[in-house]
Structure formats: structure tokens, C-alpha cells
Amino acid sequence: MNVPQLLKLARSHKKPAGTINWELILEYFPKYSKQELQNTLYNFMRSNKWQTQDLRKNYKWSAEEKNSLLKMVQQFGKDWKKINAFFAERSVAQIKNQYFQLLSKGEIMQQEMIFNGSQDSLGAEESSFHLDQFSLI
């Protein structure tokens, strides 16, 4: 198998969300299955990380993107497909995973959600859930 050609095709058939359109690549390698092509490429990527960084799907999230994500979750709840419309370069799975990573790493401080006149520990009354209830550390 011609790995340099496979690498070139993977780069040229990469979708905005970072996934590769394997159906188009299969046309260039009729003797191989999709699984064989994927295994070959991913094995090459593991041993040549510095050459294949552009093919990796896990792009770092900027602080601005993280804040936007938090605001969208407050506005739309966990409707990931709706939120995905605002993140064209990200997949639904990437958006969902990023949100839960922020929660699990403690990067989001979620204050008590206080509804309809209940009081927090300081005695301050709140009547609704506000956008400033999430913040990045």
C-alpha cells in the first residue's frame, strides 16, 4: 500500500469537523477495505505524530470557544445538535465531550441554581438562572 498517497488523500478529503471521508479514498485503493486503510493510516499517525498533527481531530479549544459553549448550553440546554450550528468546525461529539471535560476538570464553577425566590447560603434572593452562573477558572 502506498502510505504517502494515503496520507495525501486523507488530508485532501478531511471534513470540517476533522473526520476523513473514507468513501472517497476507497476509490483510490480498490483492493483494500475501509478498515485496512484506517488501520494503516492510524498506525502511521501513531508512529509519526510530528508529521500528522494536521490530521488529528482534537484541536485545542480557545477560551473564547469555551465561554461560547457555556453560554450556548445555558441558552439551549444540552441540545448538542442545536449548539453545533454555532461551531461549524466541531462535531457534535467534540462539543459534548468538551462540555463534560470542563465540568469534570473543575474548570467550570457551577454556582447553585436558584429558582423562583429561593435563597442561597448568603441569603440573597434570585428569581431566575443568569448567564453569569458559569465561569472559567
Give the range of the structural domain holding residue 16, as residue numbers without chain letter. 3-55
Q: Is the pLDDT of residue 135 over 60?
A: no
Both 91 and 125 in one domain: the answer is yes
Both 72 and 109 in one domain: the answer is yes
Both 31 and 88 in one domain: the answer is no
Nearest to 17, CA basis, from 97, 77, 73 = 97
Both 125 and 101 in one domain: the answer is yes
How much is the CA Rg of the chain, to the nearest whole Å? 21
Mean pLDDT of 102-112: 65
pLDDT: which is higher, 90 or 112: 90
Question: What was the pLDDT predicted at 92?
Answer: 85
Both 14 and 34 in one domain: the answer is yes
For the stretch 1-60, pLDDT in tens is 899 999 999 889 887 667 788 999 999 999 999 999 999 988 888 888 777 777 776 667
pLDDT: which is higher, 102 or 121: 102
* pTM passes above 0.75: no
Both 118 and 80 in one domain: the answer is yes
For the stretch 44-93, pLDDT in tens is 888 887 777 777 766 678 888 899 999 999 999 999 999 988 887 677 88
Both 22 and 46 in one domain: the answer is yes
Contact 29, 41 (CB under 8 A): no
The cell for 74 is: 445555558
Confidence of residue 113 (pLDDT cuts 50, 70, 90): very low
User: What is the distance between the alpha carbons of residues 103 and 73, in angstroms, rounded to a whole number?
Assistant: 12
Question: What was the pLDDT predicted at 133?
Answer: 52
Contact 10, 41 (CB under 8 A): yes
Sign for the pseudo-dihedral over CA of 113, 119, 123, 129: positive
